[in-house]
Amino acid sequence: MLQYNLGQKIFTPEDITASPLQENDRPYAGYLYFGVSVLSRFKHEENYDIGNQFEITLGIVGSASLSEQSQKYIHRLTGSNDPNGWDNQLNNELNNELNNELNNELNNELNNELAAGLSYSRFWRFSHPLREGLSFGFNPQISGAVGNVYTYGASGFMLRFGSDLKRDLSPPNIRPGFPGVIYFEGRKKSSWYIYLGLEGRRVLRNIFLDGNTFTDSHSVEKKTLVGDMQYGFVYLFDTVRIAFSNMIRTDEFNNQKENSLYGAVNISIRY
C-alpha cells in the first residue's frame, strides 16, 4: 500500500517577538517536504499483525520552504504576535557574509538546503478481545531514519482500548515520533479507541537544532536522548478515520526552558 504526503514544518525560538539572534534558543527554521510511504504487512491474523513501513522524503530547508510567509499569514488571521526573527533562519550567517558580494537571486539559493531522508519501521499489533465488542491492544515498534534532516534510532510501544481494534493498525503521526501506520479498513459500522504511546530516540542528527549540513549557521547543543508520550482518540466510520493526538516531548536541547507540547487533528480517507 502506498501513501503520499506533503507537509511543512515550522520551528521558532520561544520569544518570536525579538528580532536579534537568540543564541541560547533553537534557530528559526522551515521545512517543506514530499514523502512516499510503502506499507508491507507480511503476517496477518485475526488479532495479530507484523509489518514494515518504508518512507522516502524529499524537501527543502530554508527560505524556499515558505515557512516565514505561512507563519506570518496564520498569525495575522488569528491576531497573534508577528514572528520577527526570520532573518536569522538557518544558513543566515553565511547569507549575511555574502550579501555584499552576490546578487539577491544567488543569495536566496544559498539560503536553502536540499533535504533527503529514508526511514524504516517494524511494527507488531496484538489485540485481545474483551466483553461487549471491546478490545485491548499492545503495539510495540522499532524505527530509524537516515538523512541530512533527521538521523536517529527509536523504539517504543502503544496501548489501545476500544472497539474493533483489528480494523486499524495505529493512528497517524508526524515524524520524528511514534510511526503512524497508514492502513485502516473501511466498514459501514463505526468504531473508536483511545491510545497511549511511549517512544525513546537516540538522535544523531537534527538539522533544526544542529544547523545546516554544509555551511555555518546558528545551532544549539542538542540532547541525544529524547522521549515522547503521545495520547489521543480515534474515530472511524465508513472510509474515514479522524484522529485527535497530543504529544509531550522531553527537552531536545540544552537550556530548553520547558518540554515541547503540541496537538494535531488528522483526517484520513480510504479510496
**pTM of this structure:** 0.83
Q: How far is CA 6 from the centre of its chain?
A: 12
**pLDDT on residue 266:** 85
**pLDDT on residue 154:** 96
**Higher-confidence residue: 90 or 156?**
156
Is omega for the bond preceding 176 within 30 degrees of 0, making it cis? yes
| CATH number of the domain bearing residue 75 | 2.40.128.140
**pLDDT on residue 108:** 44
List strand residue ranges (DSSP E) for the chain, in order: 2-11, 29-45, 48-62, 112-129, 134-147, 150-163, 187-206, 225-238, 240-249, 260-269
**For residue 73, what is the enclosing H or E element?**
helix 67-78
Domain that includes residue 264, residue range: 2-269
Contact yes or no for 265/244 (Cβ under 8 A): yes
**pLDDT on residue 112:** 82
**pLDDT on residue 95:** 44
Measured CA to CA, the distance from residue 267 to residue 271 in angstroms comes to: 13
141: cell is 515498534
**pLDDT on residue 91:** 66
Q: What is the tally of structural domains in the chain?
A: 1
pLDDT digits (tens, 9 = 90+) for 223-268: 999 999 999 999 999 989 999 999 999 999 998 988 888 888 888 8
Q: Is 214 strand, coil or helix?
A: coil
